Amino acid sequence: MEIEIELDRRIMTAREVLCLEQGSVIETTRSAGENIDIYIGGVLCGSGEIVVIESTLGVRITDFRDD
């Protein structure tokens, strides 16, 4: 089952996308501690919080919808 967690949206030109390389960094306006939506199979199922553990970005699940 596919789980989607959207951290941010960014509009980029085709030229900017073509210039991306392995290890490229795309800045985001979101930061650790902010709430995000969690989608499973395209359906909003819960929410989470952006966390940083050592040098890894992750999501802590804070709520699951039960409806």
Tens-digit pLDDT profile for residues 38-58: 988 888 999 999 998 888 888
The fold of 3-64 is: Surface presentation of antigens (SPOA) (2.30.330)
CB-based contact 12:23 (threshold 8 Å): no
User: What's the pTM?
Assistant: 0.64
Query: Could you tell me if 30 and 36 are in contact, meaning their C-beta atoms sit under 8 angstroms apart?
Result: yes
Q: Which residues contact 40 (CB under 8 A, 6 or more apart)?
A: 1, 2, 3, 4
SS3 category, 19: coil
The pLDDT, as a whole number, for residue 26 is: 84
Amino acid, res. 27: E
At residue 21 the predicted structure's pLDDT band, cuts being 50, 70 and 90, is: very high
CB 45 within 8 A of CB 64: yes
Is the pLDDT higher at 1 or at 48?
A: 48
